[in-house]
Structure 1
Amino acid sequence: MASLFGKPLQIFATRPRIGWETRGEGRLSVALIDNVPVAGISGPLPSGGFALAWWSSRNADASPTMELHATMEAARSRVEQVTASLMRAAA
């Protein structure tokens, strides 16, 4: 615990919240971290899977990274897993 002028000072790490917006009758789910879109999940695809697109940059010309998942829940879990991992690395 840090101190400022002799008084204990607690420093809390802020964790971003993942919010979800569902659109298109559930065919598209957008992951928001601190109200900024970071990933989109769409599907089911003709193969039955779901596409997860990561937007790794605020640059509109940057290509998203794509992943395929068997279910919407698996893709959402992946977003939560990656976000948690990034927060641990930043701490």
Structure 2
Amino acid sequence: MTTFRFTVSLPEDVAGPLRDLPPGQVSAYVADALRRRQLVERMQDTLSRAGHRRFTADPAKAAALREELQVSTDVRDEALARLRAEGVLPGEWQPRR
């Protein structure tokens, strides 16, 4: 595998934990972080192409967004009943809750 050397400047809050890593482990740590970030970006791209448009990497904001976009139980049940009545869903099918 070909490797590349980079010089980067990081804010103290990001660089601080890197100082605690064993010698020679910073590159592996950064490579893992970049792989995870690239995975997130690929998933977001896939979801965007599927029509989803709102994302955040911040866990608290993600939880708030999920709550904001959550469909009420009444609306969900009404939609499922309509789909069953139209024959789109089998009568015995139940959503995960």
TM-score in terms of structure 1 length: 0.29
Say which structure, 1 or 2, has more relative contact order (CA 8 Å, 6+ apart): 1
Q: Which has the higher strand share?
A: 1
Q: Which has the higher helix share?
A: 2
Whichever of the two has the greater Rg, that structure is 2
TM-score in terms of structure 2 length: 0.28
